[in-house]
């Protein structure tokens, strides 16, 4: 499917997302406010990249967005309901101001178990990028020939920082294909009561499976190892596989990709390309929990992300595969990633 940069579309997107941010802020929906400002930044970045916005105009717009986001964070602080939540908000502020940016608690969330499981979704891994995570096979789900972390890590970090976190621990960010395998495994296990195994060969407890199902269909936001670029109508997807002195020096696997669907549609969960992109639209173009997912189209210089209850319109529940997300997003304190031992 051919792609051409559309100046008018990006300029309208920039204005529309600014307006969306105002609406979300007026109703106290801080999470979507911050995500809308990230979309503003992405449009500005694409305009600059294609010569339709000067470097100075981009710098001004970037400072303006950061100022807006800081104000949102301040309002969130006034309503912070716990010390942990307050600290997560402060990390978002530090990501903008640069103050103490490297202190990174990378796990959040809680789940009260009502069965024999001792798995703790609220387990703390307080570390920075120079420290190692303390993980063993009980922390991973085994899916075929790769294992994936049950917890979500790297919250409050952008796509590049999350990859650095994975590399530091001799792991990788889950790619798009693995993301779809993981999503389908949890859906099938929940709907058909199929048992899954952890990497230590013990069964995944039902209550842990149920919490993963809830996250994927109701409340999650995590990045995938898929970076999309368009060069004169030819789409490529990059996967980060090794660190460098800066992001430009990283090692990547890059391949040309076919895009059967590149429009906002509900798609089938079980029909996707070898790279993990959807092939067919779902027969029902309304959200059916565990049956379909909303596909958000690719954009140049974007990354893939799973999101739940974080798509348009805000009043409708959705789970989405967003392939037009900004790699620079670090505003959402829920935004993390899953780690895998190898890429497939």
- Residue 307 clears pLDDT 90, i.e. is over it: no
| Residue 155 confidence (pLDDT) above 60 | yes
Q: Can you tell me which residue has the tokens 């993301």?
A: 179
pLDDT on residue 321: 92
Report the candidate in 41, 51, 1 with the shortest Cα–Cα distance to residue 21. Answer: 41
| Mean pLDDT, residues 259-279 | 92
- How far CA 323 is from CA of 81, 183, 226, 302, 306, in Å, comes to 32, 16, 9, 7, 9
Q: Name the band, by pLDDT with cuts 50, 70 and 90, for residue 245.
A: low
Over residues 302-306, mean pLDDT = 93
Identify whether the C-beta of residue 307 lies closer than 8 Å to the C-beta of residue 221: yes
Query: Residues 229, 235, 240, 242: is their CA dihedral positive or negative?
Result: negative
Closest CA to 154 of 306, 340, 310, 335: 335
pLDDT category at 6 given cuts 50, 70, 90 is confident
User: Tell me, what's the pLDDT at 259?
Assistant: 92
Predicted local distance difference test score (pLDDT) of residue 311: 43
Cβ atoms of 251 and 240 within 8 Å: the answer is yes
In the chain, where does the domain assigned CATH 1.20.58 lie?
1-79
DSSP state of 138: G
Residue scoring higher pLDDT (312 or 176): 176
Per-residue pLDDT band for 330 (boundaries 50, 70, 90) equals low
Q: For residue range 78-97, what is the model confidence (pLDDT) as tens digits?
A: 777 777 677 777 777 877 77
pLDDT of residue 98: 64
Domain 1-79 falls under CATH 1.10.20: no
Average pLDDT, the chain: 80
| Phi (first) and psi of residue 97, to 5 degrees | -80, -20
Q: What per-residue confidence (pLDDT) applies to 115?
A: 38
Closest to 37 (Cα-Cα) out of 336, 332, 337, 335: 332
Over the stretch 101-120, which tens digit does the pLDDT of each residue have?
333 332 333 223 333 445 55
State CA 330 to chain mean position distance. Answer: 10
Asked if residues 115 and 205 have their Cβ atoms less than 8 Å apart, the reply is yes
pLDDT of residue 114: 33
**Residue 47, pLDDT score:** 87
Q: Confirm whether pTM is higher than 0.75.
A: no
The residue-averaged pLDDT of 286-313 equals 82
CB 189 within 8 A of CB 128: no
Instruction: Tell me if residue 290 falls in helix, strand or coil.
Output: coil
Kindly report the number of other CB atoms within 10 A of residue 234's CB atom.
Answer: 11
246 vs 157, higher pLDDT: 157
Length of the chain: 344
> In which residue are the tokens 């020939």 written?
145
Q: 10 Å Cβ neighbour count for 219?
A: 14
**Of 15-19, 173-177, 263-267, which one has max mean pLDDT?**
173-177
For the purposes of burial, counting CB atoms within 10 Å of the CB of 279, is it exposed (0-12), middle (13-18) or buried (19 or more)? Answer: middle
Tell me which H or E stretch contains 198: strand 197-198
Confidence bin at 213 (pLDDT 50/70/90): very high
């Amino acid at each position: 499917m051919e792609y051409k940069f559309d100046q008018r579309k990006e300029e309208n997107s920039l204005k529309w997302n600014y307006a969306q941010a105002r609406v979300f802020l007026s109703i106290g929906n801080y999470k979507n406010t911050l995500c809308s400002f990230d979309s503003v930044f992405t449009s500005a970045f694409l305009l600059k990249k294609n010569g339709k916005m000067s470097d100075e105009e981009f710098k001004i717009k970037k400072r303006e967005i950061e100022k807006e986001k800081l104000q949102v964070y301040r309002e969130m602080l006034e309503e912070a309901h716990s010390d942990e939540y307050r600290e997560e908000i402060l990390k978002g502020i530090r990501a903008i101001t640069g103050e103490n940016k490297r202190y990174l608690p990378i796990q959040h969330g809680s789940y009260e178990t009502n069965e024999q499981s001792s798995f703790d979704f609220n387990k703390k891994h307080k570390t920075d990028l120079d420290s190692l995570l303390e993980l063993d096979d009980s922390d991973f789900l085994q899916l075929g020939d790769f294992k994936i972390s049950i917890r979500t890590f790297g919250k409050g970090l952008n796509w590049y920082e999350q990859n650095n976190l994975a590399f530091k621990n001799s792991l990788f960010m889950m790619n798009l294909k693995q993301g779809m395998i993981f999503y389908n495994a949890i859906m099938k296990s929940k709907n058909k009561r199929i048992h899954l195994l952890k990497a230590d060969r013990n069964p995944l407890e039902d209550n842990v499976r149920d919490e993963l199902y809830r996250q994927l269909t109701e409340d999650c936001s995590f990045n995938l190892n898929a970076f999309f670029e368009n060069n004169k109508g030819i789409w490529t997807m990059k996967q980060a596989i090794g660190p460098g002195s800066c992001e430009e020096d990283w090692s990547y696997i890059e391949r040309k990709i076919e895009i059967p669907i590149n429009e906002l549609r509900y798609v089938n969960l079980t029909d996707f390309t070898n790279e993990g992109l959807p092939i067919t639209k779902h027969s029902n173009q309304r959200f059916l929990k565990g049956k379909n997912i909303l596909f958000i189209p690719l954009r140049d210089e974007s990354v893939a992300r799973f999101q739940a209850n974080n798509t348009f319109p805000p009043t409708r529940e959705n789970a989405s595969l967003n392939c037009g997300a900004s790699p620079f997003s670090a505003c959402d304190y829920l935004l993390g990633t899953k780690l895998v031992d190898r890429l497939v």
